[in-house]
Amino acid sequence: MATVEELEKRIGDLEDMRAIERLQAEYWDTLDAKDWDGLRACLVEDFVFANNTTGGLYEGREGMLATMRAKFADGVTSSHQGHHHWIELTGEETARSHWSLQDDLYDAQRGGEFVGRAHYDNEYVKIDGRWYFAKMSLTYLRGRGEHQKALRRLRERLPGFHDVRVGLMRALSNEGSEHVIVRCGLLKKNDKFTQESFSHHWLHIHGPIAAGMKNLRVCNQNLVIDNEHRHPIMGGVIDIDGYSELHFDTYSEMLEGVQSLDAETGNALLDDAEILLQKRLCDILVFSRNVVREVPPYLRGKNLVHRVSFLNRAEGVSVAEFRREWCYAHAKLVEAVPGHAGYNQNLVIDRFVDGASVSSEKLPCDGMAEFYFEDMDAFECFYDSKEFQRLTAHGSEFIGSVDTYLVETHPVVAGSARGGYCL
């Protein structure tokens, strides 16, 4: 006969499993209802979602929420139905489960319906008596063919230019915020070019080819004019002669913009890149830009000193920890440093190497800091200050490497109305 303690444990285990079942239902219900606050309440901060069908990996609760907001935008109706399952309590505060899923998505704006069958393998954690999702792993059993057909159609339109495999499902969005999406191409010139000839070719021949992208708000080319490492934290792997930046309102519009180039234009870009650069497909960082301190109106249009720093998080620091320290504590410390006239934080939300979305291990960069200075005296004041020393001391706690450059910015497309551009 079972003891009272054993019966109490059995009852407790059953209550935990019922709570996990309720949590799983809440996840799908909030997703279908587009209840983003409700969905946020289901996930831990460092939540991870892995899509084994597309190769997508979404790290962090806010990244997951942005992805879902974009995927289930206005006009998209969804229905998620979970079926037979099992739940295993792996510890007093941990559990895992396996679920069968049938989902139905209909896009009224773009047309089309997707019906899929999938398996979910999930991990949970109990915090202060409540269960949360720690990790999800999704594998589609039916519907993969529809994904692959869509990808083939896109590749036929723009052969070899951009692998949108992960981007289709990731589709991070900033709707409702003041942030913008920046597609940053890291450029290393072909050795046969001098710095002068590289600059001329890039600015006057290569750059204007991309100006016809749909949804493009701003197109800037940033030419490195000084690569002296001016930072106490050691350098990393970002080695460039310049970088391009294409501004879009959302991640989805960025993908649409890249896809809008016809095959002739896309191939022209690739052919010219093969002449100009060391790699036919340059490495790409996709940023979510937050303007922390705007350049004041009286300095706009002037030739400011523009310093950029590519940051990679320190070993053992999670993505969530890096974002928390950089975007909040570090940003507050920057406010106290004298000399700077503007400051942007560009948070990496995607990376592409050879046209394919990759992990941070393949392209180790988690953010890019941009500082603007009125002149070199203000620049030196910034670096020589005690406040900068405190800033560096804090940065060394979560930043592993910094690659710094002074750049000269050349606008190719000036933003106008939404989705418009002018040369």
Question: What number does CATH give the domain 152-422?
Answer: 3.30.70.100
Q: Which helix (H) or strand (E) holds 19?
A: helix 4-33
Map tokens 């010219």 to a residue: 272
- Would the CATH topology of 4-142 be identical to that of 152-422? no
Tens-digit pLDDT profile for residues 250-259: 877 888 888 7
Question: What number does CATH give the domain 4-142?
Answer: 3.10.450.50
Residues of the chain with confidence (pLDDT) below 70: 54-56, 108-113, 142-179, 207, 210-211, 262-264, 266, 278, 280, 413-423
Cβ contacts of residue 6 below 8 Å, gap of 6+?
A: none
Q: How far apart are CA 80 and CA 101, in angstroms?
A: 7
Radius of gyration of the chain (CA): 24
Q: How far apart are CA 65 and CA 31, in angstroms?
A: 10
This prediction's pTM: 0.57
For residue 108, what pLDDT is reported?
Answer: 64
Q: How far apart are CA 329 and CA 213, in angstroms?
A: 37
Q: How far apart are CA 138 and CA 158, in angstroms?
A: 29
Show contacts of 207-210: CB within 8 Å, 24+ apart: 207/244, 207/410, 207/412, 208/412, 208/423, 209/265, 209/268, 209/269, 209/272, 210/244, 210/246, 210/261, 210/269, 210/412
Give the start-end residues of each E strand in 188-333. Answer: 218-226, 242-248, 283-293, 305-313
Query: Domain ranges in the chain?
Result: 4-142, 152-422
Q: How far apart are CA 83 and CA 314, in angstroms?
A: 42
The closest alpha carbon to 307, from 394, 214, 388, 249, belongs to 388
Q: How far apart are CA 412 and CA 282, in angstroms?
A: 19
Q: How far apart are CA 391 and CA 386, in angstroms?
A: 9
For residue 90, what pLDDT is reported?
Answer: 93
For residue 18, what pLDDT is reported?
Answer: 94
Q: How far apart are CA 140 and CA 277, in angstroms?
A: 39
For residue 364, what pLDDT is reported?
Answer: 92
Tens-digit pLDDT profile for residues 54-76: 666 778 888 888 888 877 877 78
Do residues 164 and 153 touch, judged by C-beta distance below 8 A? no
For residue 412, what pLDDT is reported?
Answer: 80
> Could you write out the DSSP letters of every residue in 156-183?
HHSTTT---HHHHHH----TTSS-EEEE
For residue 144, what pLDDT is reported?
Answer: 42
